[in-house]
Amino acid sequence: MKTPRVYTDTSVIGGCFDNEFAQWSNGLIEDFRLGVFRLVLSEVVAAEIEPAPNEVIQKYAELTTFSPEFVEVSNEAIALANAYLEHTILDERYLRDMLHIAIATVAEVDVLTSWNFKHIVHYDKIRLFNAVNIEMGYKPLQILSPRELTRHE
């Protein structure tokens, strides 16, 4: 059976140190460690980690030891993020959030996971992102929080 590829945004890594989210973020990290899921990261995650607190930077460094798949910000992903912008799903202040979704969509990951309930893990937003994905010829993207995804609590 194919190991599901899971794009993980920066909020999940930071969530390892947040009382509200640590149980599930750390459970998901354990799932990556055990090979339950294949970790997918991007240039956007790497850029967002740079100014983060040391503990988050160290957790990211640990994740890179799991041989994750790294995906770049391609012209195709930028075009898809711009399509989200044109459909006014989010405004340009949230371009990085849209890039996470576009990168994961273009990379055809199985799931994108995030703790961003306002812009990413939000029923109405997911429907709108996937409507644009389909309109642009992509598959719908499954978006879940780590709590919905992890097998280790």
What CATH number has the domain bearing residue 80?
Answer: 3.40.50.1010
The CA–CA distances, whole Å, from 118 to 103, 108, 124, 126 equal 19, 23, 10, 11
Helical residues (DSSP H) of 50-122, grouped into ranges: 54-64, 75-86, 95-106
CA-CA distance, 150 to 51, in Å (whole number)?
Answer: 27
Q: Are 6 and 113 in contact (CB under 8 A)?
A: yes
Closest by Cα among 90, 84, 61 to 134: 84
What total number of domains does the chain contain? 1
Per-residue pLDDT of the chain (153 residues; tens, 9 = 90+): 899 999 999 999 999 999 999 999 999 999 999 999 999 999 999 999 999 999 999 999 999 999 999 999 999 999 999 999 999 999 999 999 999 999 999 999 999 999 999 999 999 999 999 999 999 999 999 999 999 998 866
**DSSP-assigned beta bridge partners for residue 5:** 38
Domain that holds residue 75: 5-149
Can you give the pLDDT at residue 1? Answer: 83
